[in-house]
Chain A
């Protein structure tokens, strides 16, 4: 169950990242509320998951899902650049961040 919570937390983080895009496109209370509730829900589910999943592992998986998913959705829906180099560098950063959390 903790892993289900963890994936849900990652998905909410992903929508949070998308909402940052949305805010720059369309700054109104609706997108600001959506941003806060996405990250809020994400932190709550992360805390649930951390009750059983070790903290470093939980954080690593959460970061990986949220940041890579957010980048993919940005490319699909907000016209962010899709060059191979950009994708490789994002994977490098995320791989290193996830690795650091796992070895800590």
Chain B
């Protein structure tokens, strides 16, 4: 089951790269990189939906991508970091962890 979740996490990491790219890319190579990152992240996310429920995968993908983007903004682009942001990121990670724990893969349960 861990392999599918690894795909979701990698997809979310690539999502952070293309969101940064959409905002900061200013030459052809960076745009190509952004496009590649979109392709990789959506491909992995879609493939993870093969065994995990798509609603869960999409929520986790979007959530981790958002947390990653906020973190990247604070670390590399000088956006201010507040307690409320840390709290929300922790809430989000708790939700992701919870989803991972309650989610059964297809075939794991005879439904």
Interface positions of A (Cβ within 8 A of B) = 17-18, 20-21, 23-24, 35, 39, 63, 66-68, 70-75, 78-81, 83, 85-86, 88-97, 99-101, 103-104
Q: Interface size for chain B: under 10, 10 to 19, 20 to 34, or 35 or more residues?
A: 35 or more
B91 touches A92 (CB 8 A): yes
Majority SS of interface residues in chain A? helix
A86 touches B94 (CB 8 A): no
What are 20 contact pairs spanning A and B, CB under 8 A?
Answer: A20-B54, A24-B50, A35-B46, A66-B58, A70-B54, A74-B55, A80-B53, A81-B103, A89-B102, A90-B55, A90-B56, A92-B91, A92-B95, A93-B92, A93-B96, A93-B99, A96-B91, A103-B82, A104-B70, A104-B79
> Which single residue of chain A is at the shortest CB-CB distance from B80?
A104
**Count of A-B contacts judged by CB separation below 8 Å:** 120
Across-interface contacts of A67 in B (CB, < 8 A): 55, 58-59, 62
User: Nearest 3 pairs between A and B by C-beta?
Assistant: A71-B55, A92-B95, A96-B92
